[in-house]
Amino acid sequence: MILVAGSANLDFVVRAHHIPAPGETVLGQDFNIYPGGKGANQAVACAKAGGAPTRMLLAVGQDAHAGPLLDSLRTAKVALNTVLVPDQPTGCAFICVADSAENAITVAPGANLCLQSQHLPELEGVSHLLMQLEIPIPTVTAYALAAREKGVKVVLNAAPAQPLPIELLEAVDILIVNEGELATLVPHAGAVLVNLAQIAVPCVVVTLGQRGCLARLGNNFLTQASFDITAVDTTGAGDTFCGVLVAALDQGDTIPSAIRQASAAAALACTRAGAQSSIPAANDILALTATQTDSSPEKTRALLSWCGLA
């Protein structure tokens, strides 16, 4: 069983030719509303794409925005520990997606900031606790320490990027970050390998966008080049990666196998619009990994070179 403790946001998404620069107004195209939030996205990915028994601890307001979020989680067969916050709105995110598939996101966290240490449910039967940083850092730290004490593996997706207390990092078993988030966590930012050397976490996975990803397990490194897809919307791809990675580990897969499945799932998520709506089914992931059995030598060399491992 995986417990995801984190955020749930209703996403208001507009497509545009490009993401506005400061002070610029851009005429948009399509507008849609999707269930999202890093925590909820990862919980749906664990259950739907990863096929793992999943529970989620979340906080929502008593407003109309909460309903679609809770319905989406239930549809994905995620069990819920819901904290209702009467005096706060449900979290919302405002997302602009460019024709290039890149996005810019602003989050109004609302009720997400009301999750407190006392809200953590019993951890009996939980193998992994998966968290992000859209809930208060003291709460994340308290949950991590409680899980460590109970022998539960702590997985932290350190997003959005921000400095973290040492006591939190010391309680983390697996850290998942992108390049920017990794650089934020270290005192002397440099190349990827330089930054990894400054992180005292047993396993660190760095997602590298269209290049692929790099994992450091102790002193050993593992790379996974990206899968070939045509991107439509990158929203939720990172969350899909996190959820599928943890689901695979929960079911006994090795790190290399888990990273390969997670990379395929994230690639498929980029081919569809929205966050939770883009998360693929487990069969779609199997089909992609079966058809793209090996990365091209050129892509692998480019990834190794970028990571400083060539």
Catalytic residues: 239
Q: Are strands 54-61 and 212-217 parallel, antiparallel or unpaired?
A: unpaired
CB 91 within 8 A of CB 37: yes
CB 250 within 8 A of CB 127: yes
- Give dist(CA 194, CA 47) in Å, integer: 35
Q: Residue 99 forms beta bridges with which residues?
A: none
What DSSP letter does each residue of 231-286 carry, written as one string?
-S--TTHHHHHHHHHHHHHHTT--HHHHHHHHHHHHHHHTTSSSSGGGPPPHHHHH
CB 63 within 8 A of CB 73: no
40 to each of 12, 67, 108, how far by Cα in Å?
Answer: 15, 13, 15
Helical axes 255-269 vs 282-291, angle rounded to 10° = 100
Q: In 10 A of CB 173, how many CB atoms?
A: 18
Query: Would you call 50 helix, strand, or coil by DSSP?
Result: coil
Q: Are strands 28-36 and 9-16 parallel, antiparallel or unpaired?
A: antiparallel
